[in-house]
Amino acid sequence: MMDSPVCDGSVPKRSSRKSVGVRNYNENLMDELIEKHIGSTPRKRNKTMKDMEKETEIEAMIALSVGFPIDELLEEEIKAGVVSELGGKEQNDYIVVRNHILAKWRDNVRMWLSKGEIRETVSNEYAKLINSAYDFLLSNGYINFGVSPSIISHIPESTLGSVIIVGSGLAGLAAARQLLSFGFKVVVLEGRKRPGGRVYTEKMGQKGKFAAVDLGGSVITGVHANPLGVLSRQLSIPLHKVRDKCPLYKSDGAPIDAAIDSKVEVIFNKLLDKATESRKIMGGSANDISLGSALETFRQLYSVIQSTEERQLLDWHLANLEYANAGCLSDLSLAYWDQDDPYEMGGDHCFLAGGNWILIKALCEKVPIYYGKTVHSIKYGNAGVEVFSGDQVFRADMVLCTVPLGVLKKRTIRFEPELPKRKLDAIDRLGFGLLNKVAMVFPHVFWGEDLDTFGYLNRDTHRRGEFFLFYSYHTVSGGPVLIALVAGEAAYTFESTDPAIILHRVLSILRGIFNPKGIDVPNPIQAICTKWGSDPLCHGSYSHVRVGSSGSDYDILAESVGRLFFAGEATNRQYPATMHGAFLSGVREASRIMRATSSWQNDPAKCTLKNAGPSNELLIDLFRKPDLAFGNFSFLFDSPQEDPKAMGIMRVTFGKSKSEFSGNDNFEQEVDDSHQSLKLPLPLYTMLSRAQAHEIQLMAGEDESRLNFLYRHFGLKLTGPSGLGSLGNSLTVRITSARRGQGKHRSVVGQLKAV
Ligand SMILES: Cc1cc2nc3c(=O)[nH]c(=O)nc-3n(C[C@H](O)[C@H](O)[C@H](O)COP(=O)(O)OP(=O)(O)OC[C@H]3O[C@@H](n4cnc5c(N)ncnc54)[C@H](O)[C@@H]3O)c2cc1C
């Protein structure tokens, strides 16, 4: 039985068959080093010089795998002023100390590493360098990040400022965790009814025998320095290495001849080499040419592919490339499609036992997330930010937008002021492609326990990406699960095809492959077709460098605009289109927000975070003539018209008898505390929209139930005048000046009417 298609879904990234591109370190060596180091005994004090040198070398390799150059500082380290002089002995010592701290935390990522522990293993003469290296690594999320209890317990009081995060994918959640650990107040607004975004594990199969199936991001591509590898170690979740064996089958189900298989693989890699060489010769003009057209030109030029079988096999490799990039080859930039290859994570590609949902669940712990809040506009300015979802408005000091590039391309979120042109252009230039999956749960594993992947060659070139690769998840999902990938052009037509037809096609392919071997292919118990392209909260799968674009567009997408910050896979130039790239972008932005906050706080001209709200006298004066009043509630609005989105200030006056409000503890706490410390009657305030005010007005019941509604439904809290902050201040200024100008305004309208 096929379920109705869902709007969330799909497969692993790069297949184990091919690895295009280069690495910037020796991966085998890294395997050895990391294995030796992780779980090794702690540093002993009585070591020979040789031991120390070896250890320093290993630590340097670990730092390299996390992205630190061997003999230099990162640009961020230079900016952070980690040493007093560049290039000298102090810098060398710093690098050794920094690498040691990094390696020490990677040794046991479950524990919070303190400065004290570092001091136990590094001589006192380096105390200053320990401080600067430790502070840099901590504030930039290189150590002590993640989800283990020892790390989560280090959440200080929120004192630094408030941040609204739009989107609870890996980027949003990673940022939220980091910001909380720095001491920020955080709220996440998520359009869906669940967290995780493009990481989504569906429970499939039958009651009592459910399998956990990743319909979105699935494969941890390179586990060594991967932050998701760190999370899985913290949670003690086993990883399953995706095995290299990947037999290919022809369109009639027969296996591919091994000699032709390796011949075409060599040709495919040569064509890629030729394309790479040609872009060097072409220079800037390669920016306007697609990888697809270059490969096709060289194929024709060298007449290398002759038989139908060879052509279908080459098409298979091309489909695999389209899968890795979530883009048709005709869209990928010849010049920059592989610009992130040098940063590819080392180590095996792995599946996580039980699905990636486990990571999402752990990341959500203690993070306040409001679900079903699709944001439609974001206002940002010197005084703070306002984020609108439906008729609700959320205010904070800063906002971090982590929505997918597909959403930014559709312009479904209105930014006020509009985003800078250079960012809008980069949003338009970068590509956002499509990958879909058919996930199937069968009664048993009929394809062979020893296989994680097998491929299928399509007859037609334009359908080369349709079910070209099957992933088996029986080792990790808890059931006999197969996933068929749909990449390239085929991924687009797939979304408008009847799921029953899709399932019929997949099953005929599987029967074509396995029936001749005497294996019966049963009907699946359940099947799901993903539709990432039609999903309004992503409009596609992941980003790629399109013709006319380049890696620097990722950097432009990452640029902040005042109090508006950006994260998400498409803001990560080194690791785009991946789960770890999304995670790392969130960590990056948390540090950026922290730096921005301290620079604002040190610069009184820009510091509005701690701005006092409107004066008590001004409010008392304005509320003498409220725009709306009922019970103990009165309201002032920004605009005299009946605009439901107009912002306003609400005042509740607590009378002579002590009011007691049931409901949320915080709310009770806040109101009761105020009662104790101040003489009644007590006016308290909050900001809300006119539509919200009307909703409260229309509610049946007493003031008490209205206040509960205010808190529970709108998430609004009552404060004194100063709690309204700078936004309240500017609102009262606008209301005051609008009232002053009202007479004049009316007469102008009158004159126009008379004419
Ligand atoms: C089919 C598929 C297969 C993949 N396979 C792999 C893989 O094997 N390995 C790998 O590393 N990566 C893979 N990826 C990529 C990886 O999943 C993504 O790069 C990563 O999950 C993106 O995380 P993010 O936080 O940037 O964005 P998202 O996860 O998309 O998070 C953004 C969040 O914002 C929310 N949102 C959007 N608009 C609004 C709005 N207006 N208001 C409020 N909320 C909003 C969304 O609902 C979402 O929750 C795959 C992706 C897909 C789709």
Percent of the chain with pLDDT over 70: 86
* Per-residue model confidence (pLDDT) at position 6: 38
* Per-residue model confidence (pLDDT) at position 457: 97
281, 291, 425, 550 from 284: Cα distances, Å: 9, 14, 19, 11
128 Cβ neighbours under 8 A, 6+ residues apart: none
- Please give the DSSP secondary-structure letter assigned to residue 222: -
Overall average pLDDT of the 177-202 stretch: 96
- Radius of gyration (C-alpha) of the chain in whole angstroms: 29
Q: Which helix (H) or strand (E) holds 686?
A: strand 682-689
Q: Which atom of ligand 1 is nearest to the CA of 579?
A: 11
* Per-residue model confidence (pLDDT) at position 50: 75
Overall average pLDDT of the 431-440 stretch: 98
Nearest CA owner, ligand 1 atom 14: 217
Tokens for 303, please give them.
């007449």
750, 743 Cβ separation under 8 angstroms: no
Nearest CA owner, ligand 1 atom 5: 217
* Per-residue model confidence (pLDDT) at position 745: 34
Q: Is 119 helix (H, G, I), strand (E, B) or coil?
A: helix
Strand partners, 387: 378, 394
Tokens for 701, please give them.
């019941």
52-58 contact pairs (CB < 8 A, 24+): 56/96, 56/99, 56/100, 58/33, 58/103
Q: Distance between CA 39 and CA 44 in Å, rounded?
A: 14
* Per-residue model confidence (pLDDT) at position 604: 53
* Per-residue model confidence (pLDDT) at position 231: 97
Q: Which atom of ligand 1 is nearest to the CA of 413?
A: 41
Overall average pLDDT of the 573-579 stretch: 97
User: Which of 332-336, 503-507, 654-658 has the weakest average pLDDT?
Assistant: 654-658
Confidence of residue 196 (pLDDT cuts 50, 70, 90): very high
Dihedral of CA 323/328/332/334: which sign? positive
Give the model confidence (pLDDT) of 357-410 as tens digits.
Answer: 999 999 999 999 999 999 999 999 988 999 999 999 999 999 999 999 999 999
Q: What is the dihedral of CA 171, 172, 173, 179, to 10 degrees?
A: 110
Tokens for 175, please give them.
């940022």
Angle at CA 100, nearest 5°, toward 94 and 103? 140
User: Which of 144-153, 242-251, 390-399, 640-649 has the weakest average pLDDT?
Assistant: 640-649
Model pTM score: 0.79
- Residue 498 C-alpha to ligand 1 middle, in angstroms? 25
Nearest CA owner, ligand 1 atom 33: 167
* Per-residue model confidence (pLDDT) at position 55: 85
Give the rounded distance of the alpha carbon of 33 from its chain centre.
Answer: 30
Nearest CA owner, ligand 1 atom 35: 167
Q: Which atom of ligand 1 is nearest to the CA of 219?
A: 8
Residue in 709, 605, 698 with CA at minimum distance from that of residue 662 = 709
Give the model confidence (pLDDT) of 436-473 as tens digits.
Answer: 999 999 999 999 999 999 999 999 999 999 999 999 99
Provide the mean pLDDT of the chain. 85
- Residue 693 C-alpha to ligand 1 middle, in angstroms? 35
Domain layout of the chain by residue ranges: 48-144, 164-204+367-432+537-600, 248-345+435-530, 616-654+681-743
Strand partners, 611: none
Residue of 198, 437, 571, 578 to mutate, ligand 1, most atoms within 8 A of C-beta: 198
Angle at CA 390, nearest 5°, toward 389 and 393? 50
- Residue 579 C-alpha to ligand 1 middle, in angstroms? 8
- Residue 433 C-alpha to ligand 1 middle, in angstroms? 12
Specify the higher pLDDT residue, 656 or 78. Answer: 78
Residue in 454, 1, 446, 500 with CA at minimum distance from that of residue 205 = 1
Tokens for 341, please give them.
């290859």
Range 248-345+435-530: architecture per CATH: Alpha-Beta Complex (3.90)
Nearest CA owner, ligand 1 atom 4: 217
Percent of the chain with pLDDT over 90: 65
Q: Which helix (H) or strand (E) holds 400?
A: strand 398-401
Residue of 579, 584, 587, 589 to mutate, ligand 1, most atoms within 8 A of C-beta: 579
**753, pLDDT greater than 90:** no
Greatest Cα-to-Cα distance within the chain, rounded to the nearest angstrom: 98
Q: Which helix (H) or strand (E) holds 163?
A: strand 162-166
393, 689 Cβ separation under 8 angstroms: yes
Buried b (16+ CB within 10 A) or exposed e, 332-356: bbbbbbbbbeebbbbbbbbbbbbbb
Classify strands 398-401 and 564-566 as parallel, antiparallel or unpaired: parallel
Q: Which atom of ligand 1 is nearest to the CA of 376?
A: 41
Nearest CA owner, ligand 1 atom 49: 197
538 Cβ neighbours under 8 A, 6+ residues apart: 197, 198, 404, 406, 407, 532
First to last CA, the chain: 70
**146, pLDDT greater than 50:** yes
7, 531 Cβ separation under 8 angstroms: yes
63 Cβ neighbours under 8 A, 6+ residues apart: 95, 98, 99, 102, 103
- Residue 438 C-alpha to ligand 1 middle, in angstroms? 18
Pocket of ligand 1 (CB under 6 A): 10-13, 166-172, 189-192, 197-199, 216-219, 221, 374-375, 402-404, 407, 413, 435, 437, 532, 537-538, 541-542, 568-569, 577-579, 582
Q: What is the dihedral of CA 189, 191, 195, 200, to 10 degrees?
A: -160
Q: What is the dihedral of CA 693, 696, 697, 702, to 10 degrees?
A: -140
Overall average pLDDT of the 418-433 stretch: 98
Nearest CA owner, ligand 1 atom 10: 578
Tokens for 24, please give them.
């910037």
**41, pLDDT greater than 50:** no
Give the model confidence (pLDDT) of 675-714 as tens digits.
Answer: 333 345 788 999 998 888 888 888 877 888 888 888 888 8
Nearest CA owner, ligand 1 atom 17: 217
How many Cα atoms are found within 13 Å in the side-chain-facing hemisphere of 451? 18
Q: Which atom of ligand 1 is nearest to the CA of 197?
A: 49
Tokens for 377, please give them.
């506009």
Q: Which atom of ligand 1 is nearest to the CA of 172?
A: 25
Specify the higher pLDDT residue, 621 or 462. Answer: 462
- Residue 196 C-alpha to ligand 1 middle, in angstroms? 7
Q: At what angle do helices 89-107 and 49-65 cross, to 10 degrees?
A: 80
Nearest CA owner, ligand 1 atom 27: 169
Q: Is 607 helix (H, G, I), strand (E, B) or coil?
A: coil
- Residue 404 C-alpha to ligand 1 middle, in angstroms? 6
* Per-residue model confidence (pLDDT) at position 387: 97
- Residue 233 C-alpha to ligand 1 middle, in angstroms? 23
Specify the higher pLDDT residue, 606 or 271. Answer: 271
Can you spell out the DSSP letters for 495-507?
TTS-HHHHHHHHH
Q: Is 3 helix (H, G, I), strand (E, B) or coil?
A: coil
Sheet strands (E) in 458-584: 466-472, 481-486, 526-529, 542-544, 564-566
- Residue 169 C-alpha to ligand 1 middle, in angstroms? 6
- Residue 338 C-alpha to ligand 1 middle, in angstroms? 21
Q: Which helix (H) or strand (E) holds 53?
A: helix 49-65
Q: Distance between CA 41 and CA 47 in Å, rounded?
A: 13
- Residue 468 C-alpha to ligand 1 middle, in angstroms? 23
432, 521 Cβ separation under 8 angstroms: no
16 Cβ neighbours under 8 A, 6+ residues apart: 242, 243, 244, 246, 349, 452, 453
* Per-residue model confidence (pLDDT) at position 113: 96
Q: Distance between CA 379 and CA 418 in Å, rounded?
A: 9
The region, left, alpha or beta by phi > 0 then psi within -120 to 50, assigned to residue 236 is left
- Residue 170 C-alpha to ligand 1 middle, in angstroms? 7
Strand order in the sheet with 633-637: 628-630, 633-637, 647-654, 682-689
User: Which of 156-160, 251-255, 279-283, 429-433 has the weakest average pLDDT?
Assistant: 156-160
**4, pLDDT greater than 50:** no
Dihedral of CA 313/317/318/322: which sign? positive
Q: In the block, which residue shows the tokens 């020892």? A: 150
- Residue 647 C-alpha to ligand 1 middle, in angstroms? 33
Q: Which atom of ligand 1 is nearest to the CA of 567?
A: 26
- Residue 435 C-alpha to ligand 1 middle, in angstroms? 12
Q: At what angle do helices 127-139 and 89-107 cross, to 10 degrees?
A: 60
Specify the higher pLDDT residue, 43 or 523. Answer: 523
Q: Which atom of ligand 1 is nearest to the CA of 543?
A: 19
Confidence of residue 218 (pLDDT cuts 50, 70, 90): very high
- Residue 637 C-alpha to ligand 1 middle, in angstroms? 38
Q: Which CATH class for the 164-204+367-432+537-600 domain?
A: alpha beta
Specify the higher pLDDT residue, 40 or 87. Answer: 87
- Residue 88 C-alpha to ligand 1 middle, in angstroms? 43
Q: Distance between CA 509 and CA 486 in Å, rounded?
A: 14
CATH of domain 48-144: 1.10.10.10
- Residue 250 C-alpha to ligand 1 middle, in angstroms? 33
**Most confident option among 64-73, 142-151, 683-692:** 142-151
Residue of 403, 476, 486 to mutate, ligand 1, most atoms within 8 A of C-beta: 403
Residue of 542, 557, 571, 587 to mutate, ligand 1, most atoms within 8 A of C-beta: 542
486, 435 Cβ separation under 8 angstroms: yes
Nearest CA owner, ligand 1 atom 12: 578
121-127 contact pairs (CB < 8 A, 24+): 121/42, 121/43, 122/97, 126/93, 126/97
